[in-house]
Amino acid sequence: MDKNKPSRMYFIGKKEDFDQAKRMIVTLDGRDILIIYHQRTFYAMDLQCYHAGSSLELGDIEEINKKLCIVCPKHKYKITLAEGEGLYKAANPAEKLSTPQWFSKGIKQRVHKVMEVDEDIFVTLSNCPGWVESDYYQTEKGRAELRKAQESKDGDEDANADEDV
Ligand code: FES
């Protein structure tokens, strides 16, 4: 993200739009963003999962270590809604009876700011400097990779449909 570029607030809809839908995908300044309304709080993050670019739109929400996380539908990676932190569970291999615990991988998914003003919902894109892994899928190279994966998947589905005939 360009930290020298002034942040702009984008109007994305009315609060009532989220009463039913709870989630919305918007493209702001060329960036695909997932907006989530959960337990009366709004969250916004990059739509494509930092791990391999799958859409987070249908990810379940779970509480882990007192933090709300979205669970990527593809490989079940956990990402905190508020910070974009990747969480993983592990046991200490040096201790035979150690109980697995949750650890942080650090910020992996770029999150954005959501503001509510008189029932209008606005998003301001993050301009935190530095590279966040989910940024990759917002680049031309990342998008080309996603298109290629989708085409390959579509090809496989067509081939399977032919076999079913
Ligand atoms: S693409 Fe999200 S966990 Fe792999």
Average confidence score pLDDT of the chain: 92
H-only helix segments in the chain: 15-21, 140-164
Does the C-beta of 67 come closer than 6 Å to ligand 1?
no
Residue 2, pLDDT score: 58
Binding site membership of 138 for ligand 1 (Cβ less than 6 Å): no
Please give the pLDDT value at position 1. Answer: 57
The per-residue pLDDT for range 101-148, each reduced to its tens digit, is: 999 999 999 999 999 999 999 999 999 899 999 999 999 999 999 999
User: Ligand 1: distance of its center to the CA of 113 in Å?
Assistant: 23
Evaluate: CB of 75 within 6 angstroms of ligand 1.
yes
C-alpha 142 – ligand 1 centre gap (Å): 14
pLDDT single digits (tens) 36-61: 999 999 999 999 999 999 999 999 99
Cα separation, 131 vs 151, in Å, equals: 28
Segment 67-95, tens digit of pLDDT: 999 999 999 999 999 999 999 999 988 88
Fold of 9-91+100-164: Rieske Iron-sulfur Protein (2.102.10)
105 lines ligand 1 (CB under 6 A): no
The pLDDT assigned to 36 comes to 98
What local confidence, expressed as pLDDT, does residue 93 receive? 81
Residue whose C-alpha is closest to residue 51's, from 126, 109, 110: 109
Question: What pLDDT does residue 3 have?
Answer: 58
